[in-house]
Amino acid sequence: MTEKILVVDDDLESLKLISLMLRRQGYEVIVANSGSQALLKADIERPNLIILDVMMPDMDGYEVCRRMRANANTRPIPIIMFTAKTLIDDKVAGFEAGADDYLTKPTHPAELASRIKAVLSRNNTPSMSRRPQGIAIGFLGARGGIGTTTVLSNVAAVQAAANLRPIIVDFQFGGGQIAQAFGLTERLDGMVSVLQRPVAEIRGPLLMQHLLSHASGVRVLPASPNPKEAQTKYTADAGQAVIKGLKTIGTHVLCDLGSGYSDLVARVMPALDQMMFMVEPLYSALGGAERLLNVLRAEFKGTIHLAVVNRGATNRYVAPWSEVEARLGQSVVGMVSSAPEQVYQAAEAGQPLVVQQPNAVIANQLAKLAQAVNA
């Protein structure tokens, strides 16, 4: 497999020259002309090696190096510092910042090649040669209003607390509840802006610009609450590109698919790895749930998890867990009990319930559901 090298230099001539040398030697080359661009590209593209210029105006190479080392995602990537300076102090500063090797400009192509080979073989990190892929999970309710969005938001919060990097993508245009559930009120046009761009541009770097961050560590690509957004038009390719692009940024991409076999479900299904299918344990609802589940089983290639959400109060119409499993022919990975008061309080606070009331029974149930997704 071709190894990928990120070359960082504010001087475009030097960027071109080194890129050409490396391409001739058979490497895949990506470039950045500033420190901040380098941090972004390294995080998304995860190159096998970085060649980093020291003297750059916005952020010098030492600072870039320190920040790369502070980010778990870029920490293992070997860095060769590259500079016109030859002073010994600079070398020391470079190594202190976390560089693996040091080269001075101008460099002979043969020397560059041998240093790169040496560093790459010392840092034999096969996992870096492929961009890591997160997994995409669609959350779908057998019916509307049963608690699908609540479950999804809490699963994301559980994952973030476990140091995973979940991203929620809200496909409920015009509904825009997820940002609200996380108390996020600004820049809510993410999905709509992204979907207006050509499909070829819907990739990690663009998506990253539209992500909102919550203090819990959960990131959200929001749909706005503007009712007119419900008319948003987009193709299956665009919807899938959003999910695939987010998989290059996060460990888990959680998609709110609403309920039923909508256009949305048909469009984005090919980009999903798993589905969390939510049913209400009501005798009257099981027939519809079974029919929808059978359609999904026929069309979806990935794993389908089954979860029971009992939003209403317990009454004689509620089917027991075993009955749900027997009827739907599959084991249930978890259940969420009715807790209207607690769910309401969390919504008021703009916090996921698992964060706001970590000791509640329902918080434990939600954590168990999150485990099913991670397993």
Ligand X SMILES: Nc1ncnc2c1ncn2[C@@H]1O[C@H](COP(=O)(O)OP(=O)(O)OP(=O)(O)O)[C@@H](O)[C@H]1O
CB closer to Mg ion out of 119 and 243: 243
Q: Is residue 149 a contact point for ligand X (CB under 6 A)? A: yes
Binders of Mg ion among residues 137 to 176 (CB under 5 A) are 148-149
Q: Which of 52, 311, 328, 369 binds ligand X (CB under 6 A)?
A: 311
61 binds ligand X (CB under 6 A): no
Taking the complex as a whole, the smallest distance from the CB of residue 370 to Mg ion amounts, in Å, to: 18
CA atoms within 13 A on the CB side of 373: 34
Residue 255 φ then ψ, to 5° = -105, 125
Q: Which residues of 168-191 are buried (b: 16+ CB within 10 A; e: fewer)?
A: bbbbbbebbbbbebbebeeebbbb
Binds ligand X (CB under 6 A): choice among 344, 348, 358, 361: 344
Interface map 166-205 toward ligand X (x if CB under 6 A):
-----------x----------------------------
Question: What tokens does 312 get?
Answer: 């209403």
Residue 83 engages ligand X in binding (rule: CB under 6 A): no
Cis peptide before 106 (omega within 30 of 0): yes
Instruction: Using alpha carbons, select from 56, 68, 60, 71 the residue that is nearest to residue 11.
Output: 56
Q: Report residue 39 as tokens.
A: 């941090």
Choice from 150, 224, 274, 351 touching ligand X (CB under 6 A): 150
Q: Give the span between the Cα atoms of 244 and 175, in whole angstroms.
A: 23
> Of how many residues is the chain composed?
375
Residue-wise DSSP of 164-222: --EEEEE--TTT-HHHHHTT--S-TTHHHHHHTS-GGG-SHHHHHHH-EE-TTS-EEEP
Q: Does 340 bind ligand X (CB under 6 A)?
A: yes
Subset of residues 251 to 270 that bind ligand X, contact rule: CB under 6 A? 258-259
In the shown chain, the binding pattern of residues 199 to 238 toward Mg ion, with x for contact by CB under 5 A and - for none, equals: ----------------------------------------
Question: Please, what is the angle between helix 109-122 and helix 12-24, to 10°?
Answer: 70
Binding partner selected for residue 275 from Mg ion, ligand X, none, CB under the kind-specific 5 to 8 Å limit:
none
154 part of the interface to ligand X, by CB under 6 A: no
Say whether residue 145 binds ligand X (CB under 6 A): yes
Q: By the criterion CB under 6 A, which residues form the site for ligand X?
A: 141, 144-150, 177, 258-259, 309, 311, 336, 338-340, 343-344, 347
